[in-house]
Structure 1
Amino acid sequence: MWGFLGVIVMIQGFGSAIATMFSDDAKFGFLLKWAHEYQPFIGIATGLLGIGVLVLGERSKSSNGG
């Protein structure tokens, strides 16, 4: 569950940063539509947060034995 959530957050964050840098598209995704003037920095930070959630989810899954 946490791994899936982390992947979604990563895609939304890095995708919005890339879309803003290369096409100036304010309508990428659903998570960061409001933050167009803060791009690409908030997109990168959100992508890194998604990586953290993914790693923590995988760690908890492996520590629980399944």
Structure 2
Amino acid sequence: MWGFLGVIMMIQGFGSAMAPLFTDDDKFGFLMWWASDYQPFAGIVVGLLGIGVAVLGERAKGADRD
């Protein structure tokens, strides 16, 4: 569950940071529509948080197996 949430955060965050490079639309995704004025920094921060959530989720899953 946490890994999936982390991946969604990574896609939304990094995608919203890169969207202005490829499209004319400043708003990307359902999580980052409010942050068009703060891009690319807000997208990078959310993407990095997503990596952290995914890693912590995988570590918790590995701890459950032990």
User: Structures share a fold, TM > 0.5?
Assistant: yes
Which deviates more, 53-62 or 28-37? 28-37
Query: Which ranges in structure 2 are unaligned for 5 or more consecutive residues?
Result: none
User: What letter matches 1:4 in structure 2?
Assistant: F
Match of 1:57 in 2: 57
Match of 1:39 in 2: 39
Structural RMSD (CA):
1.4
CA distance in 2, matches of 1:24, 1:35: 15
The TM-score with structure 2 as length reference comes to 0.91
1:34 to 1:15, Cα distance in 2 relative to 1, 3 A: same
Kindly state the Cα deviation for residue 39 of structure 1 after the two structures are TM-superposed: 0.1
1:21 to 1:40, Cα distance in 2 relative to 1, 3 A: farther
Q: How high is the sequence identity, in percent, across the aligned residues?
A: 70
Kindly state the Cα deviation for residue 8 of structure 1 after the two structures are TM-superposed: 0.2
Paired residue total: 66
CA distance in 2, matches of 1:40, 1:20: 9
The TM-score with structure 1 as length reference comes to 0.91
CA distance in 2, matches of 1:58, 1:46: 18
Query: Which ranges in structure 1 are unaligned for 5 or more consecutive residues?
Result: none
